């Protein structure tokens, strides 16, 4: 399990204060960056960009958890919808400068496994990202995407430089470590993924789906 940001708990002495201390209720613990949730709706008659909406931005731990509590988990989204959480007002689209030369670590979700598995993977990576668990590579990460699809849903982490192999490898290893060590509900048994692969956004846009080159591959059991 990722360690932060949990909702901050108060020590007993902090809680034991006069009941009208409203400062405690208003206390906010800042995140290092601002994170925005974007939602792609299922109105397939609209252009893709028109389906994409900015839902809410948060920059404190308390507001992050408030947001998570108030939106449906990925497993309860309609087919063809997406969630995106991107940092510092980066739009979750290929076209913007921050994503133009980037790529993604892609995890295909095994449909034969439990439907809630996607929620576990989503929260593990989301918490690691918001909690700056990628160390020196945090700046390389633009955001996380969840695609709900009947053919098999996907979660991907978008990084800004597809040619920075070393940074992307380290990011991939951190994602793997988070997922391999994830605490799973009793009714779900691991591993939560088989392989993750890194794809260049340029290749994804030009693709013939089954033939996208994987620049890097990490399996849950080997390297
Ligand atoms: P998708 O949602 O990434 O994958 O892209 P999906 O639905 O699993 O389909 P597949 O093609 O991978 O099998 C689906 C389509 O959405 C793309 O072909 C584009 O038309 C559109 N689209 C997706 N993204 C991420 C973008 C984007 O960043 N910019 C624009 N303009 N269109 C996008």
| pLDDT confidence of residue 101 | 98
Atom of ligand 1 nearest to the CA of 154: 8
The average confidence (pLDDT) of the chain is 90
Q: How far away, in angstroms, is 210 Cα from ligand 1 center?
A: 14
Q: At what angle do helices 117-130 and 165-180 cross, to 10 degrees?
A: 130
Q: Whose CA is nearest to atom 21 of ligand 1?
A: 48
Distance set, CA 139 to CA 35, 116, 130 (Å): 13, 30, 12
User: How far is the C-alpha of 101 from the C-alpha of 160, rounded, in Å?
Assistant: 6
- The closest of 183, 124, 194 to 152, measured between CA atoms, is 194
CB neighbourhood size of 25 (10 A): 7
pLDDT tens for each residue of 64-104: 999 999 999 999 999 999 999 999 999 999 999 999 999 99
pLDDT tens for each residue of 93-151: 999 999 999 999 999 998 777 888 999 999 999 999 999 999 999 999 999 999 999 99
On the question of pLDDT at 13 being above 60, the answer is no
Q: Whose CA is nearest to atom 15 of ligand 1?
A: 48
Q: Is residue 49 in contact with ligand 1, taking CB distance under 6 Å?
A: yes
Q: Whose CA is nearest to atom 32 of ligand 1?
A: 48
The whole model's pTM is what? 0.90
Atom of ligand 1 nearest to the CA of 99: 28
Confidence bin at 11 (pLDDT 50/70/90): low
């Amino acid at each position: 399990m990722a360690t932060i940001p949990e909702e901050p708990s108060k020590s007993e002495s902090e809680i034991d204060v006069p009941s009208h201390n409203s400062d405690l209720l208003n206390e906010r613990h800042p995140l290092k960056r601002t994170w925005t949730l974007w939602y792609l709706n299922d109105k397939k008659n609209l252009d893709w960009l028109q389906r994409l909406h900015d839902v809410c931005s948060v920059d404190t731990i308390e507001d992050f958890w408030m947001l998570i509590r108030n939106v449906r988990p990925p497993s309860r989204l309609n087919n063809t919808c997406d969630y995106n959480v991107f940092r510092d007002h980066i739009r979750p689209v290929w076209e913007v400068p921050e994503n133009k030369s980037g790529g993604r670590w892609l995890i295909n979700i095994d449909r034969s496994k439990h439907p809630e598995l996607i929620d576990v993977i989503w929260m593990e990576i989301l918490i690691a990202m918001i909690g700056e668990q990628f160390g020196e590579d945090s700046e390389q990460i633009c955001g996380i995407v969840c695609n709900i699809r009947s053919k098999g849903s996907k979660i991907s982490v978008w990084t800004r430089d597809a040619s920075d192999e070393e940074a992307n490898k380290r990011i991939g290893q951190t994602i793997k470590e988070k997922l391999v060590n994830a605490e799973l509900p009793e009714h779900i048994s691991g591993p939560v993924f088989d392989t993750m692969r890194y794809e260049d956004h340029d290749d994804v846009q030009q693709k013939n789906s089954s033939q996208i080159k994987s620049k890097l591959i990490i399996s849950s059991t080997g390297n």
